[in-house]
Structure 1
Amino acid sequence: MSIAERLRSRGLSPKKRFGQNFLVDVSASRAIAEAATTPPGGTVLEIGPGLGALTRPLLERAAKIVAVERDRDLVPLLAAELEAPIAEGRLSILEADALTVDWAAELVGPRPHVLAGNLPYQITGALLERATGLADRIDRAVFMVQAEVADRLLAPPGSKTYGALSVFVQAAFDVKRLLTVRGGAFYPRPDVDSAVVVLSPHRPPRAKETESFREAVRAAFGARRKTLRNAWRSLYGWSKDELEAHAAEAGISLDARGETLAVEDFARIAAKKR
């Protein structure tokens, strides 16, 4: 039975407010599951299982899965279809918002501890922010995101797609593109392509995401066309002379623009705040 038929049999349809585009490509699902569970075993927190396209191949390889689903209409459907692994204690389904669930508290079980899921576009940035905050406590994250988001996550300094999201994620993770997934792999079909990215935590991180670090990054990219001299003119309440001195000590030219700086450059300027 197709996804459309399964939904119709319950009087349901995809919900735009939840950004529901269900993955129907079996090979893509298996590739994501394999990336999330190599070596086999471990505990996976799955974000947005939907109708279980990824949950099923994950169950073939993971020791334990906690699936967080916001749509209350899908939870009983998924629970009925996956009754056996739930009874065995290998799968638990939480009806909850992935933005508010305590991910660390749910990732209790054998390692590796992995985050996985097809991220809704509307909240992709917020979910990635939560993942970076948990980087020191997980072993991997495997996410399906829109292709343009994957480009931003992978972008090097100086490129057009390099921005604040690139810096924050690259500070915490090594980012790899696993595969591109075309629109036809989903129901309903989206207007854009997607990509699967594998995020592996840096040990230690390239930069500690302190408030000072975040402030420097956001100021630099909030005024993208300006030089750092202008973008950072009120940074940390420094005077013009203090900014000049601290930037020189950090080896940063204030005539440069924010998109040319590497993660470590932002870390060095942030470290100058006392």
Structure 2
Amino acid sequence: MSPLSFSNLQTLPPISSNHRPKPPPLASPAGSRRRMLYICCAEGGGRVKRTSTDDYHGTLKALNSKGRFPRKSLGQHYMLNSDINEQLAGVACIEPGDVVLEIGPGTGSLTNVLLNSGAFVLAVEKDKHMAALVSERFSSTGKFKILTEDFVKCHVRSHMSSLVESLKQMDQETRNAKVVANIPFNISTDVIKLLLPMGDIFSEVVLLLQEETALRLVVSSLRTSEYRPINIFVNFYSDPEYKFKVPRTHFFPQPNVDAAVVSFKLKPPTRYPQVSSSKSFFSMVNSAFNEKRKMLRKSLQHICTSLEIEEALTSIGLLATSRPEELTMDDFTKLHNLIVK
């Protein structure tokens, strides 16, 4: 993945400046119509037009309040357009009573939208200074909890189960558990591998990813260099959908690449492809792609004989000389069930 560019950090105008280059219009999902967004107030039953200070100057003001600069090592890039945060919440259909996991809340611009949509938010933030900032901002809502942890080392399942149970004990009506996050590009694969097998907890995962990554995960085709084991993994555990592109100019600092929003509708465990063991299934898939130029009858010889692999391939309607990039997830599932004892 391309690293974030911080070359423009020192040339940005100060907070007090009234000048800011206008970003390009926000790209909307195909077929959608622009409309004014209205949401329920957290305290009342009336509906009000939402206003927000989570823009360019608001973000810099929040960072300066803690004396912070975005850290390249943490992949920090902050959203400057509140409309995109509204669309992120809209893609996930956030409603009152939903429990939402947010990864890397930063200054809290997306958190604000989620809370105003009626959700209870569990945020995980590695940067202790930013964790303190959002804690100060939202602790009084009574619907926000922050964990100062590295997400890829965090026990998400335990934290979510504990939170949902405590909400039930407080007679809080909960609906769905979802993930909505603008995540650092450099941990996107790790995040996806952690979250997608949690269809027993989350119904949907909506992430803002590097656009190249988003396209590779969702639309990579057979017989291309972009088709990899991660594509098998994503489709095993979810139904992914590319939603819309987000130009790089909407972030601070501006990265070298554009972003995109992807929705992963998680499958409950009862809908996973039927294999004897998911561990052995993905071990087979990884072995196949580790030597993707070789035919499967060669790369999978550690599982069974070449003849047995050839017979298995032909029995499911494939050539005996098939290579991994020629097999769909269903093909791999059938092959696994035939050759892995």
TM over 0.5: yes
Matches within 5 A, 1:107-126: 107=160, 108=164, 110-126=174-190
Would you say the 8 A contact 1:48–1:69 is kept in 2?
Answer: yes
Would you say the 8 A contact 1:37–1:58 is kept in 2?
Answer: no
Name which of 227, 230, 240 aligns with 1:165: 230
Q: How many residues align?
A: 269
Name which of 128, 153, 158 aligns with 1:72: 128
Match of residue 131 from structure 1: 195
- Opposite residue 141 of structure 1, the aligned amino acid is V
Structure 1's 207 and 30: CA in aligned 2 closer, same or farther, altered over 3 A? Answer: farther
Please report how far the alpha carbon of residue 40 of structure 1 lies from its aligned counterpart in structure 2 after TM superposition.
4.2
Match of residue 152 from structure 1: 216
Equivalent-residue separation in structure 1 for 2:228 and 2:80 (angstroms) = 32
Would you say the 8 A contact 2:180–2:206 is kept in 1?
Answer: yes
Name which of 297, 300, 313 aligns with 1:247: 313
- Opposite residue 102 of structure 1, the aligned amino acid is H
Matches within 5 A, 1:173-192: 173-192=238-257
Equivalent-residue separation in structure 2 for 1:62 and 1:270 (angstroms) = 44
Would you say the 8 A contact 1:124–1:145 is kept in 2?
Answer: yes
Equivalent-residue separation in structure 2 for 1:254 and 1:120 (angstroms) = 42
Name which of 154, 158, 164 aligns with 1:101: 154
Matches within 5 A, 1:1-274: 1-85=57-141, 88=142, 90-107=143-160, 108=164, 110-154=174-218, 155-203=220-268, 204-206=271-273, 210-234=278-302, 236=303, 238-272=304-338, 273-274=340-341
Point out 4+ residue stretches in structure 1 off by more than 4 angstroms. none
DSSP-derived class of the 2:154 partner: coil
| Bigger mean CA deviation after superposition, 191-200 or 115-124 | 115-124
| Bigger mean CA deviation after superposition, 168-177 or 213-222 | 213-222
- Opposite residue 268 of structure 1, the aligned amino acid is K
| Bigger mean CA deviation after superposition, 118-127 or 208-217 | 208-217
Equivalent-residue separation in structure 2 for 1:24 and 1:266 (angstroms) = 43
Please report how far the alpha carbon of residue 231 of structure 1 lies from its aligned counterpart in structure 2 after TM superposition.
2.7
**Deviations along 1:150-173, whole A, 9 cap, x unmatched?**
111112333442211111001111
Would you say the 8 A contact 1:172–1:205 is kept in 2?
Answer: yes
Would you say the 8 A contact 2:297–2:307 is kept in 1?
Answer: no
Equivalent-residue separation in structure 2 for 1:180 and 1:165 (angstroms) = 21
DSSP-derived class of the 2:314 partner: helix
Equivalent-residue separation in structure 2 for 1:82 and 1:40 (angstroms) = 17
Please report how far the alpha carbon of residue 117 of structure 1 lies from its aligned counterpart in structure 2 after TM superposition.
0.9
- Opposite residue 84 of structure 2, the aligned amino acid is A
Please report how far the alpha carbon of residue 217 of structure 1 lies from its aligned counterpart in structure 2 after TM superposition.
1.4
**Deviations along 1:9-52, whole A, 9 cap, x unmatched?**
32211111111011111111110012223444311011111111
Could you tell me which runs of 5 or more consecutive residues in structure 1 were left unpaired when the two chains were aligned: none
Would you say the 8 A contact 2:94–2:119 is kept in 1?
Answer: no
In our comparison, the structure showing a higher alpha carbon Rg is 2
Could you tell me the TM-score, scaled by structure 2's length? 0.74
Could you tell me which runs of 5 or more consecutive residues in structure 2 were left unpaired when the two chains were aligned: 1-56, 168-173
Structure 1's 40 and 255: CA in aligned 2 closer, same or farther, altered over 3 A? Answer: farther
Please report how far the alpha carbon of residue 232 of structure 1 lies from its aligned counterpart in structure 2 after TM superposition.
2.3
**Deviations along 1:109-155, whole A, 9 cap, x unmatched?**
52211012112222211110011221233110001111111111112
| Bigger mean CA deviation after superposition, 99-108 or 51-60 | 99-108
Equivalent-residue separation in structure 1 for 2:274 and 2:117 (angstroms) = 33
Could you tell me the TM-score, scaled by structure 1's length? 0.91
Aligned-pair RMSD on alpha carbons?
Answer: 1.9
Please report how far the alpha carbon of residue 180 of structure 1 lies from its aligned counterpart in structure 2 after TM superposition.
0.6
- Opposite residue 278 of structure 2, the aligned amino acid is T
Equivalent-residue separation in structure 1 for 2:233 and 2:221 (angstroms) = 13
Equivalent-residue separation in structure 1 for 2:222 and 2:116 (angstroms) = 39
DSSP-derived class of the 1:180 partner: strand
- Opposite residue 42 of structure 1, the aligned amino acid is D
